Amino acid sequence: MTEERKYIYSIIKNPKPFDLTQGGSFRLPEIISGINNRELIFIPHRDIAAAVSNIHLINFDKLDKKKLIRFISEHGQVNADLMKKHEVIPMRFGMVAENIEGIRGILAKAYIQFKTVLERTAGKAEFVVQVFWNKKNTLEKIVQENAEIQKLKKSAESKGMILGFPSKMELGKLVFEAIEAYRQEYSVDILGNLATYFPDFSAGKLLDTDKEEVSGETNKVILINHSFLIDKTEESALGFQLNKLAEKYKDELKFKYTGPMAPYSFAAINLGVGNFALVDNARKTLGLGESATLPEIKKAYYKLAQEHHPDKHEYKKDRVIVEEAARKMKNLVAANEVLSVYCRHCFSALPPGIEQMYSFKKENIENSIIISAKGGSASGGKEKYLT
């Protein structure tokens, strides 16, 4: 018999945070089965827990396609069931740990990452919006509307294969540019409209090939494939906006959305980055020293945000400058989130009203992760107020 390990589906908020009587694992009142119908258990660390089930050691790369699809489906179903009652960070398919101690190590090492994502996605779900277009129909429209393309098309046809080659080259260039102009116009209008109401989104892979089939129709290819992170209660609002766009483009585009689902596109966890590296990078991004108060953190963030916000650079009409400003702004937001989570949760036992100086030194960061809220650390020592 092959060795059993622990398959990890997701990270959730621990329903009984800091309850040291839980031991190595606990179960939820609702019964949820994982891959191969194995029972789901939860491995806690502080106020988070990993949803896992036992699994025989498997090389997922060598599974046949049918079984692989089944396992992926079961992985997704576990997270769909969990998110009905819990905040969920879905983990990528195929993540396996040696044992419970290995899982605890993962939870401790990436604790601040997990807490940051849980707060960012709390009460929200992912919805995937896809917009399809028929490039063949668009091409016919372009030919009908563009006199220069019509002229080149006739010239190429009348001169034959060899003499008409230069005309065909020029024709192909004009058609490509026209198609790209349509693509850009559609994308800017649709994404601009949706971003007004749902600003947190992420671009997905485009399947831009005429071999793709959508609903049995050939030549339907994906124009937009974006994931939106929105409140779970706003599905009807998303549907309303998509219906308006579908009516606007009823003869040109088709719209589809999928969800709600666990926020796979918004739960980027890098297990190679520990708590100290994460906090250290965040404080450097905000230009802070090895310690700071919460007001100092906020002041540094707002000052840099004012300087790098993309809206401040739009007047320059330089796409490179605007994109660089957007990248810097994204990093600033992420740094502020990380430091806010670190200060609020790793020092949660501090009395309210005290302007605490928070340390960003490695030993203090790592020690704060293992301190419990009930007066004891993992090693049995007394709780510390770190400065």
CA distance 29 to 183: 50
Give the pLDDT of residue 56: 86
What mean pLDDT value characterizes the chain?
81
12 φ, ψ to 5°?
A: -125, 165
* Share above pLDDT 70 across residues of the chain, in percent, rounded to a whole number: 77
DSSP 57: -
Burial class (CB in 10 A: 0-12, 13-18, 19+), 38: middle
CB-based contact 260:126 (threshold 8 Å): yes
CA distance 79 to 37: 14
| Residue 15 banded pLDDT, cuts 50, 70, 90 | confident
CA distance 342 to 336: 10
- For the entire predicted model, the pTM comes to 0.79
Instruction: Indicate if the pLDDT at residue 82 is higher than 90.
Output: yes
DSSP 95: -
Instruction: Compute the residue count for the chain.
Output: 387
Residue 117 CB-half CA count within 13 A: 24
Instruction: Indicate if the pLDDT at residue 325 is higher than 50.
Output: yes
The pLDDT of 55-72, averaged and rounded, is 88
Residue 381: alpha-carbon gap to chain centroid: 38
Digit-coded pLDDT (tens) for 126-141: 999 999 987 777 777 7
CB-based contact 36:22 (threshold 8 Å): no
The pLDDT of 281-310, averaged and rounded, is 90
307 φ, ψ to 5°?
A: -75, -35
Strand (E) or helix (H) holding 243: helix 235-248
